[in-house]
């Protein structure tokens, strides 16, 4: 689609009001809500759609012992680590985690996409989309942030 709609607010309150399918969903909700919002977000994606999730590495704290002593709240860190395990194990998605800044997960919804031999071009397109998205994130100027 040629349109983008930015929605700001409490995702738990807004999400049930949305009807998909969407090409792209960027999740930067309360980290303790990531797990509870996951299934609804995936349901809102079209087959081949992208779910981008911010802060999945949490300054490296999701890896036990990587940051010593931990700086971030332990409950939030554990929630993000558990969500990451759920995300990469979700058979509806093909996920990669891009290790830049606080970490970005990029998932392509493969559920509903035919994977038979006749549909290999569609699968190839999905993988190219994932590669392009990953490259775009890696090359982005993350210091060019407009102040609110």
Check residue 86 and give its pLDDT: 96
Which pLDDT score is estimated for 120?
Answer: 60
Encoded tokens for 49: 């759609």
SS3 53: strand
* Backbone dihedral region for residue 22 (phi beyond 0: left; psi -120 to 50: alpha; all else: beta): beta
Q: Which stretches of the chain score pLDDT less than 70?
A: 1-5, 113-123, 126, 134, 137-138, 140-148
Reference 26, options 6, 46, 47, 56; nearest CA is 6
Per-residue pLDDT at 132: 76
Which pLDDT does position 9 carry in this prediction? 76
Secondary structure class of 142 (helix, strand, coil): coil
The whole-number pLDDT of residue 79 equals 95
Tally: H helices and E strands in the chain: 4, 4
45's enclosing H/E stretch is strand 45-54
pLDDT, residue 114, reads 62
């Amino acid at each position: 689609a040629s349109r983008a709609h930015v929605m700001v607010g409490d995702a738990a309150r807004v999400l049930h009001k949305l009807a998909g399918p969407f090409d792209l969903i960027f999740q930067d909700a309360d980290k303790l809500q990531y797990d509870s919002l996951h299934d609804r977000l995936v349901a809102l994606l079209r087959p081949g759609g992208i779910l981008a999730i911010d802060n999945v590495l949490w300054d490296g704290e999701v890896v036990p012992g990587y940051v010593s002593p931990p700086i971030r709240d332990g409950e939030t860190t554990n929630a993000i680590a558990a969500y990451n395990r759920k995300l990469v194990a979700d058979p509806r998605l093909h996920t990669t985690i891009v290790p830049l800044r606080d970490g970005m997960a990029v998932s392509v919804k493969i559920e509903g996409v035919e994977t038979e031999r006749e549909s290999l071009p569609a699968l190839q397109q999905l993988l190219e989309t994932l590669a392009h998205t990953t490259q775009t994130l890696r090359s982005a100027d993350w210091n060019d942030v407009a102040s609110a």
